[in-house]
Amino acid sequence: MSATTMEAAKRAAAHSHKSSLHRQRMWALWGSYIALGVFVVIFLVPPFYTLMTSLKSSAEISAQSGNPWIVRSPTLENFWYLITYPNFQTFYFNSVVVTLLTVVISMVISVMAAFSLARMGFWGSQTLSTSVFLTYLIPPSLLFIPLFQIVGAIGMINNVWCLILLYPTLAVPFCTWIMIGYFSSIPKELDEAALIDGAGYVQILVKIFIPVAMPGIIAATIFAFTVSWGAFLYPLAYLYTSNQMVLTVGIISDLIRGDVFQWGKIMAACLLASLPPIVIYAFLMDYYVAGLTAGATKG
């Protein structure tokens, strides 16, 4: 009898202790959700306001009456204007071409170099990997003035193709760095077996390393894409006519004429221009985050 009551009391005590712990956890959990919610709201204010403005007509924007944070008579006229606006089409086209070529060139260069640096090695390859990393730490704002002279000397000022020469310098060092990491983590038995079977280095790279290190390649590709899609300083410094511009510079210099700000159109253009990165991140975020945290990068 007494034993059972003791048991019950003990159980009750344990239960109450457990439930208070449980309650504490619940509070911590809900507190976290609420705080995160506040941060998300703050973080999403600019994109939200961009969306609202892009749906307004010029008349509604300049009327300045009532709450600017909501749209009263939503219209797609800004988007329609941009889609049919030849300059904007040119910017978009230029951005797509430059980005695609930059991504391909950067990935070819960095995958080849990373394979060589991670697995083959030659005299000075250790120094080279270190200097690749250091190169990554040199910001474009340190180099754009001498590059202005260099681009001028090769006659490519105001020529969108100069970006294809310059953008890889932004992407290649980091892409090489993460690819070295991924390649080094591949077990050596794999390529030794292939070597014994008589495969050449190129075959090992194409048939073994690239498929196995695919997550790394995806992460590096997204990085190269992000960098060349969003770059602003080089195109601003080297391009000055509308037919040569890319999106980042084109929106600013073409839709802002003197003191006339067509904010509805500017915001719609920002949305259209941010669409490709957003879509890519929506699907491939995990790869990118994994690659990034492995490579300890910048932001």
Q: Which is nearer to another protein, 83 or 134 (CB)?
A: 134
| Calpha distance 224→231 (Å, rounded) | 11
User: Residue 246 gets which letter from DSSP?
Assistant: -
Tell me, what amino acid is at 238? Y
Interaction of residue 78 with another protein, rule CB under 8 A: no
- For residue 51, the minimal CB distance to another protein (Å) is 10
| Calpha distance 230→297 (Å, rounded) | 17
Interaction of residue 203 with another protein, rule CB under 8 A: no
Interaction of residue 70 with another protein, rule CB under 8 A: no
Of residues 149, 173, 181, the one with CA closest to residue 162 = 149
| Calpha distance 183→275 (Å, rounded) | 32
User: Cβ distance 297 to 174 under 8 Å?
Assistant: yes
Interaction of residue 126 with another protein, rule CB under 8 A: yes
- Applying CB under 8 A, among 73, 149, 197, 260 the residue interacting with another protein is 149
Site for another protein in 230-259 (CB under 8 A): 230, 232-233, 236-237, 247-249, 251-252
Q: Which is nearer to another protein, 7 or 203 (CB)?
A: 203
- Applying CB under 8 A, among 137, 197, 211, 259 the residue interacting with another protein is 137
Site for another protein in 105-124 (CB under 8 A): 108-110, 112-113, 115-123
Site for another protein in 37-66 (CB under 8 A): 39-40, 42-47, 49-50, 53, 61, 64
Q: Cα dist. 76→19, 54, 55, 87, 257 in Å?
A: 54, 8, 6, 19, 22
